[in-house]
Chains A and B, each alone.
Chain A
Amino acid sequence: MKPINKIHLILLTIFVSAIGASAQDARLRFDNLASLEKNASEVVEVNVDGKLLQLAKRVLLKVKDQDAQKIGKAIEGLEGVYVRSFNFDSENDYNIADVDSVRSQLSSPGWEKLARVRSKKDNQKIDVYMMFRGQDISGLAVILSEKKQIALINVIGPIDIDTLVELSGKMNIPEISISKDDDQNDN
């Protein structure tokens, strides 16, 4: 093989690895959540990527519902949606260290803090991080922890957040609201 072709091959390999690495960087690891799952009274786990995601996108763009088509356009470049949601019966029924281990992944290079909410009243912590590839969003992460609830959200790929927020509650499935009012009602 000629030297020039070898160099091209090496450069190509590096280029492809870089692309793959950047894509994987947006993916959070939800490996060490077994203890959370064990103690939770309700667990919601969503993993939508690959062919499943393509199928869902096709359906959304196929129907003639306006909201569904808006959502379809908002997630056109989406590569994956991963959600872990845990509800607990009593306060402090989980180890906050499990959540912090996921939060620590957001301190790696590439992630940029978009929003941070802290509420001592409800022991509420919300962190919103985004990863960019040039001007485009390549990843979104939302970590929420409250007294009786934990939500870990990881979205990979470009996504229109404004449209998602606008259509919140119009997605034809019951809106899953995470609200501090639940604690007040229980007390």
Chain B
Amino acid sequence: MTSFTIPTIETQRLTLRAPKLEDFEQYAAFLSSDRAQYMHGPMSRKEAWRWFTNDTAHWPLMGFGGLMIEENGTLAGQVAITRGPTFPEPELGWFLLDGFTGRGIAAEAGFALRNWAYETAGLKTLVSYIHPENAASIALAKRLGAELDENAPRPEGETLEETLVYRHPAPDADGGMEAYA
């Protein structure tokens, strides 16, 4: 038999943990809303299922994937490292459910998962693919220390008009965790 583990990561305020079936309703609701416009949404429930299960399947297939963000036992969003078949490299992504924005939750989760990826999964670099008009995500990427990489390849089929590539600091350069230790 083959054994797999999806980690639980605790931060100052949050618990990042494996996706469960019960999370899907809220996940699908988010992806069907206008807030998902920069995540190829809004999308149907069927499409949302593909996304949700993709983030989960990454764990046994690649050793990294999506974790749901919980604050005091309440689902707050998701942070994920994914590498779709058209991605040139793994990507750190995130979304927050309504009511959880504006408090640094995505940053706290992003720092934690990135740190885990570098320290435990052995990744050497990460990018975030962000729509040029997605000001909130661009601000978050910068807050995480990521910088615009104009020479980075984009996922197959995506153009400069729809995808900017922000490259995160390399493992040794990541000094951001202290703020959330």
* Same assembly: no
Identify the B interface with A (CB < 8 A): none
